[in-house]
Amino acid sequence: MSKNKIAIIGAGSIVFCSTILNDLFNVPELNGFEIALMSPTMPKIVRMVNYAEKIIQKSGLKTTVYATTDRRDALKGARYVILMYQIGGVEAFRMDYEIPLKYGVDQCIADSLGPGGVFRLLRTAGVMKSIDDDMRELCPDAHVLNYVNPMGAVCTYLGRYTHMKSVGLCHGVQTTMDLIAGYTEVPKDQIDFVAAGINHMAWFLKLEHEGRDLYPLLRERIEKAEYYMNEKVRGEVMRHGGYFMTESTGHLSEYLPWFRKNKKALDTYCDMPDFGGASGAYYKFTKSIAEKYAVTDVFALESGNLEARSKEYCSYIIEAMESGRPFKFNGNVLNRGYIKNLPDDACVEVPVFADRLGLHPTVIGKLPSHLAAMNLSNISVQSLAAEAAHEADPERAFWAIAMDPLTSAVLTLKEIREMVGELFEAEAQWLPEFAGKGLRKLHAVSIPEGTVPADVPVDPALAINSRFGKL
């Protein structure tokens, strides 16, 4: 295995891939590495290479970057593999949002849980399996840093059904810490915290500044209208449950049954624009970005200067593993007793330490039981979705969506089956593993007027009337 190669799979993501590349160029230990940018088509990654080479030349780096549409070529000899692809693009995302909305399931984000999250996993898993097969041959010892959503379900799938040494990365903790720092008026780098749970629903179990608990101040601020209105769902959950969580109001509103199930709930808790709860906020944002970059060459405006590193964990983890300098981050891994009251085969998000010896997740113990209960409602969906993807089982996919907290608060089983069937038909081109495996169609049972109920067999020994007569 090469000691100096990084493969980025799905490198056509103009905004995100360019951010990760800039971060990697900031790490002295990676100067001289070879970085392979892989995407199914060349135009975007050629532009990405040109962007990267301007920085390399202007900064005097020895790093090399090349583009390829051959995934096996990108993976061959890689030391690190960064995953950031999306199967089906904006068109599949549109279906994930619009078809459920037609049935009454109003999603804000639609990429992590619910109908949108489940179908994104189903489109993703087959490619993950083929990447795993290639890696076992071409780079069996490589570390995988996954950014592909739905993070919880994808990491459950990776942990259960592949051989990858993987960790899932998100920026919910970093961005929420910015908010907490602002609300408590304490510099972010001076706040000591412990966050744990699952991706997009991890809980800040401790928030301290020089030994002082910051929760009383945060709770006090959330009771004020000008703070509460910014984070109605997160604020409401903290007001009732005592703990703040790691994703926006728009995200959390989908993961629990109380905030998007009807117009009254939406008007009360999800009335802020964009990720404050607006319907289809993430799909509409993604669509607008795609349309913009289709006609605008953003790289033409780049100066070639090396910018400051972003908040993304990726480059810091690789730096720690190359340099031996430890780095602490929140990562998504298969639970191995790290959180005692969540299943061992579930994906959990816990503090992880990276160093030259690898990744070392932290044992948290037990979550407060009500927080674990909320996590478990999402784990049920992620677990069923991972099984459905592994077995290419449409019935298991149906049950994953049927157990989704938002969907189950809005629809009957019959309506869910109809919706899932329509999603399978609409997205068939991205679901080759499910070809010929249609969802069963169940028709409503008609009960003609005057129908007499069938006799119900009763064991006489158990019937109260048989011993005591009618009361």
Active site members: 171
Coil, helix or strand at residue 81: strand
The owner of tokens 């005097």 is 60
Q: Which two tokens stand for residue 132?
A: 């795993």
Amino acid (one-letter) located at 194: V
Q: Which two tokens stand for residue 454?
A: 């069938």
The owner of tokens 């997740």 is 361
Q: Is residue 246 within 8 Å of 173, Cβ to Cβ?
A: yes
Contacts made by residues 134-138, CB under 8 angstroms, sequence distance 24+: 134/71, 134/72, 134/75, 135/75, 135/81, 135/163, 135/164, 136/163, 138/72, 138/75, 138/76, 138/77, 138/78
Closest CA to 377 of 341, 407, 400, 404: 404
What CA–CA distance (Å, rounded) separates 2 from 470?
Answer: 83
CB atoms within 10 A of CB 470: 5
What CA–CA distance (Å, rounded) separates 433 from 451?
Answer: 44
The owner of tokens 């959330």 is 222
What CA–CA distance (Å, rounded) separates 420 from 200?
Answer: 24
Alpha helices in 149-270 (DSSP H): 151-161, 172-184, 215-222, 225-228, 232-241, 249-255, 263-269
Query: What secondary structure letter does DSSP report for 460?
Result: G
Cis check for the bond before 150: say yes or no (omega within 30 of 0).
yes
Q: Residue 358: left (phi > 0), alpha (psi -120 to 50), or beta?
A: left
Alpha helices in 296-350 (DSSP H): 314-323
Closest CA to 241 of 423, 394, 371: 371
The owner of tokens 């390399």 is 56
What CA–CA distance (Å, rounded) separates 283 from 323?
Answer: 39
